[in-house]
Amino acid sequence: AFGLVDIDAEGQRFVSRIVGHPLLGPIKLAGDPMKLEDVRLLSPILPSKVVCIGKNYADHVAEMKDITGESTEEPVVFLKPSTAVTGPGDPVFHPAISERVDYEGELAIVIGRLCREVPPERAKDVIFGYTCANDVTARDLQKKDKQWTRGKGFDSFCPLGPWIETGLSLEEAADLRVTTTVDGEVRQDGRTSDFIHGIPELISYVSSFMTLVPGDVILTGTPAGVGPVQVGQQMTVSIERIGELTNRVVTRD
Amino acid sequence: AFGLVDIDAEGQRFVSRIVGHPLLGPIKLAGDPMKLEDVRLLSPILPSKVVCIGKNYADHVAEMKDITGESTEEPVVFLKPSTAVTGPGDPVFHPAISERVDYEGELAIVIGRLCREVPPERAKDVIFGYTCANDVTARDLQKKDKQWTRGKGFDSFCPLGPWIETGLSLEEAADLRVTTTVDGEVRQDGRTSDFIHGIPELISYVSSFMTLVPGDVILTGTPAGVGPVQVGQQMTVSIERIGELTNRVVTRD
């Protein structure tokens, strides 16, 4: 079920159940609100498409040059399969076949309307909200395969959450701190104001060649500082004014 | 709605309406059968994932070397977005931004069961059937972008159909003639027996890193002879014992 996460007068987060699908009509709540800590959050959306942007922070382009080449005029776009999506607190499975699995903390845009060929100035009209994403990547397979589908497509390689923040303006979303920690140690620390291609341009570019449907997610690229995680370690993507997305790396069995 | 296409005693094809979703339980028919020519067929499936295989015929690998490089030990895997899927007889839109749009006729496998890490010898258990596919490609953008998502991901760039053939054994599917014509002229003429990676190996490989769900489609790669189509031309992918998939190239306007 879907739920609405809000903050009460004492500053405590609570969850109210949403009747039906929040993207398919006005939101109607049902039942008594529950304390957030009594609820297990799943991925806030099961997207039809997970569209990802590569090379959207100059400092990350520089650190990745030997794997992904020079920066390009247009955004690099790739897809993760919907089966890669997982929720906050869920395990990320380290494939036995990979010798290097990396975190990549990113701001994710959740699309709210069916749209195609969106001009940048209309982009704000098609955004439902924002969440945190971790574009988990088997770096060795990404490099070996050339096409990034396998390296970035394993089950559980796309944690999303903890919820969708619907209260941010485009201007606010364009200047948020994005950090990733591993076992509490800061590894990535960027700002969305450092994007090479801003949110309106990304939506315009992606929708210039594929129709977007409600619930589709666009991952906006990762800042510098990507690196490996080991089995047992905990990754946390934190985005200012949105929340924290934490997942532990485990073996499949 | 879904329908069952069958052949009557006089050799005429007819369509019976299927109640509900054919992948979600035993098939139940309803109403009177209709003549096939009185029915408009849509894409036989709206897949959650369209998984595509590159470089699966040696003669095609050779002709594409300057764009896609040498052959590789493992299959090349990429994704088309679900919004690229279109049906038999539907238009394929030629993007204004591309100067070369190519047909690529292919056998498509439709998955019937939720599965992961399928051993090759179990692959036949997860196949629902087979259909024809056209992996339409903006060749210039594929080459320019390196990642193939945009070049292969435009709306309408994945015609599927005309129906799903569920009566073929794995052995039969492994030796089918695949031809593509443009305005009736043969451009591609291959056999699935020439696959570098056979159907069981493809299902095993793809499911080794992503869970497949019922209705997911795997495009098995294209034989030699790919080439451009112009606005107004008609592409037909024909696969022996399955059927013909015809689409005309048009401008969006």
pLDDT of residue A66: 81
* Whole-number Å distance between alpha carbons of B104 and B127: 22
pLDDT for B76-132, tens place per residue?
999 999 999 999 999 999 999 999 999 999 999 999 999 999 999 999 999 999 999
Burial zone of A169 (CB within 10 Å; 0-12 exposed, 13-18 middle, 19+ buried): exposed
What would the mean pLDDT of A199-212 be, rounded to a whole number? 98
- Cβ contact A211–B83 (<8 Å): yes
CATH architecture of the domain covering B41-251: Alpha-Beta Complex (3.90)
CB contacts < 8 A, A to B, total 86
Q: According to the model, what pLDDT value does residue A64 have?
A: 85
> Looking at the predicted structure, is the pLDDT value of residue A235 above 80?
yes
pLDDT tens digit string along B152-179?
999 999 999 999 999 999 999 999 999 9
Task: Give span(s): CATH 3.90.850.10, chain A.
Answer: 41-250
Q: Point out the residue among A51, A82, A153 whose CB comes nearest to the CB of B48.
A: A82
Asked if B69 and A146 come within 8 Å (Cβ–Cβ), the reply is yes
Please give, rounded to a whole number of angstroms, the shortest distance from the CA of B202 to a CA of chain A: 13
List the single best residue of A48, A83, A98, A115 to mutate versus B (max B Cβ within 10 A): A83
Would an 8 Å CB–CB cutoff place A211 in contact with chain B? yes
Among A82, A145, A211, the residue with its CB nearest the CB of B155 is A211
Instruction: Measure in Å the smallest separation between the Cα of A97 and chain B Cα atoms.
Output: 10
Q: Contact B81/A153, CB-based, under 8 Å? A: no
Instruction: Report yes or no: B213 at the A interface, CB cutoff 8 Å.
Output: yes
In the prediction, which pLDDT does B24 show?
85
User: Quick one: average pLDDT of B185-214?
Assistant: 97
Question: The complex's ipTM?
Answer: 0.94
pLDDT-above-70 percentage for chain B: 100
Give the pLDDT confidence score for residue A236 in this predicted structure. 98
Question: In this complex, do B209 and A155 lie within 8 Å of one another by their Cβ atoms?
Answer: yes
> What residues pair up with A227 in beta bridges, in sequence order?
A103
3-state secondary structure of A238: strand
Task: List CB contacts of B74: < 8 A, sequence separation 6 or more.
Answer: A145, B205
At A183 the pLDDT is 98
B141 SS3 class: helix
- Residues 6 or more apart whose CB falls under 8 angstroms from that of B253 comprise none
The model's pLDDT over A15-61, given as tens digits with 9 standing for 90+, comes to: 999 998 999 888 899 999 999 999 999 999 999 999 999 999 988 88
* Cβ–Cβ below 8 Å for A147 and B54: yes
Closest CA to A159 of A128, A137, A190: A137
For residue B72, give the chain A residue with the closest CA. A145
**Count of positions (residues) in chain B:** 253
**What per-residue confidence (pLDDT) applies to B25?**
83
Residues A205-233 have a mean pLDDT of: 97
Residue A40 identity: R
A77 touches chain B (CB under 8 A): yes
Is A103's pLDDT higher than 90? Answer: yes
Name which of B79, B147, B212 is nearest A76 (Cβ-Cβ).
B147
Instruction: Kindly give the residue spans of alpha helices, DSSP state H, lying in chain A.
Output: 58-63, 65-68, 139-145, 149-153, 170-173, 199-207
Residues of chain B with CATH 3.90.850.10: 41-251
For residue A90, give both structure tokens: 């869920």
Is A157 in CB contact (< 8 Å) with chain B? Answer: no
Tokens of A181: 């920690």
Q: What does the CA dihedral B20, B21, B25, B28 come to, rounded to 10 degrees?
A: 50
Residue B212: closest CA among chain A residues belongs to which residue?
Answer: A83
Closest CA in chain A for residue B49: A81
Contact assignment for A79 to B77 by CB distance below 8 Å: no
Fold of A41-250: Fumarylacetoacetate hydrolase; domain 2 (3.90.850)
In chain B, whose CA is at the least distance from the CA of A80?
B79
Q: Which of A69, A84, A209 sits opposite B153 (nearest CB)?
A: A209
**Whether the predicted pLDDT of A107 surpasses 80:** yes
Residue B68 pLDDT level (bands cut at 50, 70, 90): confident
The residue that leads in pLDDT, A70 or B64, is B64
Cβ separation of B150 and A49 shorter than 8 Å?
A: no
On the 0-12 / 13-18 / 19+ scale of CB atoms within 10 A, B177 is middle
A215 in B contact zone (CB under 8 Å): no
- pLDDT grade, residue B62 (50/70/90)? confident
Interface touch A145/B84, C-beta < 8 Å: no
Minimal Cα–Cα distance from A37 to chain B, Å?
30
**pLDDT at residue number B155:** 98
Q: State the nearest Cα–Cα gap between B79 and chain A, in angstroms.
A: 7
Separation in Å, CA A127 to CA A81, A170, A199, B202: 21, 9, 10, 37
Q: Which of B69, B95, B210 sits opposite A155 (nearest CB)?
A: B210
Contact yes or no for B150 and A211 at CB 8 A: no
B145 to chain A, any CB pair closer than 8 A? The answer is yes
Confidence of residue A69 (pLDDT cuts 50, 70, 90): confident
Which chain B residues are Cβ-neighbours of A51 within 8 angstroms? 81
